[in-house]
Amino acid sequence: MNAGLKKTSVLLGIMALVAAAGFFITWIVGQRNGSFAREGQEKSFRVVTSFYPMYIAAMNIIGDADGVELSNLTENQGGCLHDYQLTAADMKKLEGADVLIINGGGMETFLEQIQKAYPGLAIVNASAGLEKEGENPHYWMDPKKYKKQLAAMEAGLSSLDRAHKDGYEENRRVYEAQVDKVEKEMLSVIEGIPGEKAVLFHDAFYYLAQCLGIEIAYSIELEDDTSLNTGEIAEIVDQAKAGGVRLLFTEKQFSESIPLGISRETGADICVVDTLVSGAMEKDAYIKGMEKNIEEICRCLKALKEQA
Ligand SMILES: [Zn+2]
């Protein structure tokens, strides 16, 4: 073999290797996108929800629909979504998804980023009909508004996956009846209770307080207990004292050190409520969480009644 021929065969060998590697990479990408794996199989309908409250709602509407896969985009991170930064792993979960269900109302600040990366992805906004009602996106905390979110979710899913339309409708009805029960329980709480004033430590409690006829004297968007300085705490104490506030609504997920300090200064009772932004990935998580909230609010109101 002369030197020129040797060089040519080495070059051909390298080219063959490059071509094989290229094919292999294409095959892996294909596998990941499901284009090979799904051949000859029935394609599944992949639903992704933006965060926990939407995931629990979607779980109830989808039920055991055949071939429908549900996953949640963001980790059960303990707090609300506000200003949440998507991770690379979060973004990857949207690969091959058919629809993303969002809470809406500005809760998903990362929506534009998703739409840029996945321009073909269908978006169902659960709050489409509610956004005009105000700036506060914590709609799920009001059973009445939550039911509107369920209806929007059902309509969105049904329009994209017509095969399961009847099932989605039936599941939504069954779940709505459970939410109705929670709503009635909430209404019975306020019967015979004179109006109270409260400081809210997360404006997620706004709708809950509104449902219960509790006047909001001051509302803080507190995401962790280090976000208030001493001046701000003093201002809350002053406002609470001046407004005759006897209730502090604090969040289960956050530390109690600041509310405890304010409670000591003002004599107001602490009512620890769950905003239902994290918890068990179970169908009845919202219903159970709301029932616990009602129990806690009843306990607080009863204590206030005894004080008076
Ligand atoms: Zn929030």
* pLDDT, tens only, 139-158: 999 999 999 999 999 999 99
pLDDT of 31 > 50? The answer is no
Average pLDDT over residues 225-251: 86
What's the pLDDT band for 105 if we cut at 50, 70, 90? very high
User: How confident is the model at residue 285, as a pLDDT?
Assistant: 98
User: How confident is the model at residue 273, as a pLDDT?
Assistant: 92
Q: Give the separation between CA 247 and CA 244, rounded to whole angstroms.
A: 9
Number of helical (H) and strand (E) elements in the chain, helices listed first: 10, 8
User: How confident is the model at residue 195, as a pLDDT?
Assistant: 79
Identify the structural domains of the chain with CATH numbers, from first to last.
45-185 (3.40.50.1980), 192-275 (3.40.50.1980)
With a CB cutoff of 8 Å and minimum separation 6, the contacts of 243 are 197, 217, 218
Whole-number Å distance, alpha carbon 80 to ligand 1 midpoint, is 4
Whole-number Å distance, alpha carbon 162 to ligand 1 midpoint, is 33
Average pLDDT over residues 240-251: 90
Query: Positive or negative, the Cα torsion across 141, 146, 152, 154?
Result: positive
Whole-number Å distance, alpha carbon 199 to ligand 1 midpoint, is 15
pLDDT of 10 > 90? The answer is no
Average pLDDT over residues 272-280: 92
Query: What stretches of the chain adopt beta strand conformation (E)?
Result: 45-49, 68-72, 99-102, 122-125, 197-200, 215-219, 247-251, 269-273
Whole-number Å distance, alpha carbon 225 to ligand 1 midpoint, is 14
Average pLDDT over residues 247-271: 87
pLDDT of 29 > 60? The answer is no
Whole-number Å distance, alpha carbon 144 to ligand 1 midpoint, is 18
Whole-number Å distance, alpha carbon 102 to ligand 1 midpoint, is 14
Specify the amino acid at residue 56: I
Whole-number Å distance, alpha carbon 52 to ligand 1 midpoint, is 12
Range picked from 157-161, 209-213, 293-297 for highest mean pLDDT: 157-161
User: How confident is the model at residue 213, as a pLDDT?
Assistant: 86
Give strand pairing partners of 25. Answer: none
Average pLDDT over residues 69-73: 97
Whole-number Å distance, alpha carbon 36 to ligand 1 midpoint, is 41
Whole-number Å distance, alpha carbon 203 to ligand 1 midpoint, is 6
Percent of the chain residues topping a pLDDT of 70? 81
User: How confident is the model at residue 269, as a pLDDT?
Assistant: 92
Higher-confidence residue: 186 or 161? 161
User: How confident is the model at residue 20, as a pLDDT?
Assistant: 60
**Max CA-CA distance within the chain?**
106
